[in-house]
Amino acid sequence: MATTTAAARVRKARRTSVGLKLAMAITGGLFVLYVLAHMYGNLKVFSGQEAFDGYAHHLRELGEPLLPYSGFLWVMRIGLVVALVVHVWAAVSLWRRANHARSTRYVKFRPVQATWSSRTMRWGGVALLLFVIFHLLQFTTMTIQVGGSFDSPYDRVVAAFSTWYILAIYVLSMLALGMHLRHGIWSAVQTLGWSTRRREPAIKRTALVIALIIVVGFLVPPIAIFLGVLE
């Protein structure tokens, strides 16, 4: 059977659908780490305006003088964009592959194992992508300004989340993120081959817990703002 060279085998291995999944798992893993860090930053909002703005500023000075001002942030942004492109490209490839694999639908299909979370990965992913764009337009490029224009990140956040529809968008988006992560984390672990039958329930529970922590962690500041706990 084995008539190919190791190099040819490696090339062939990369091109398989499991290769795509591995790409998704690794990039997805990076996103989880990033999101956790982001959540930690958000929670700084409870330490007061000074601490929060200081944190935002500090991020830009990170790595100085080795890196220029905002250098760390740009490295991170570029990294995230590359990861996002890979993640989305792999997802779209697998999605197209799945569509071609079953062009005639069932008259009746009843899932017996799938969770809502696993069944909404693709459209949920699309929703998250739209959200990310909106989020960047709002807080990174500041193209969309809600409740006025501010120099202080703290003021920007407070003004935005005092608006009900912004809160609503974020609540829905974070729920979508939670669902995406609940299946995504388990899926990444399985794809990286760390799952066994014995560990499977624990992995799934852990994925759920991480997803819940992230949802709650992200929603606490906006809700606190909306309720007037922070101002």
Alpha carbon of 95 to those of 47, 100, 125: distances in Å? 43, 9, 11
Task: Decide if 40 contacts 202 (C-beta within 8 A).
Answer: no
| Identified binder of another protein from the candidate list 46, 58, 194, 205, rule CB under 8 A | 194
176 is a contact residue toward another protein (CB under 8 A): no
Burial of 107 (0-12, 13-18, 19+ CB in 10 A): exposed
> In whole angstroms, what is the distance from residue 179 CA to residue 168 CA?
17
7 is a contact residue toward another protein (CB under 8 A): yes
Interacting span for another protein (CB under 8 A) from 1-9, 173-181, 208-216, 221-229:
1-9
**Long-range CB contacts (within 8 A, 24+) of 151-155:** 152/49, 152/53, 153/52, 153/53, 153/56, 154/45, 154/49, 154/52, 154/53, 155/49
Nearer to another protein, 31 or 170 (CB): 31
Nearer to another protein, 12 or 58 (CB): 12
Nearer to another protein, 156 or 182 (CB): 182
Alpha carbon of 166 to those of 41, 93, 134, 172, 225: distances in Å? 20, 32, 11, 10, 12
107 is a contact residue toward another protein (CB under 8 A): yes
CB of 132 to another protein, least distance (A): 21
Nearer to another protein, 109 or 164 (CB): 109
33 is a contact residue toward another protein (CB under 8 A): no
Nearer to another protein, 25 or 83 (CB): 25
202 is a contact residue toward another protein (CB under 8 A): no
Nearer to another protein, 118 or 163 (CB): 118
Q: Side chain identity at 68, as an amino acid letter?
A: P
197 is a contact residue toward another protein (CB under 8 A): yes
195 is a contact residue toward another protein (CB under 8 A): yes
Interacting span for another protein (CB under 8 A) from 51-59, 154-162, 195-203, 217-225:
195-203
Task: Decide if 225 contacts 164 (C-beta within 8 A).
Answer: no
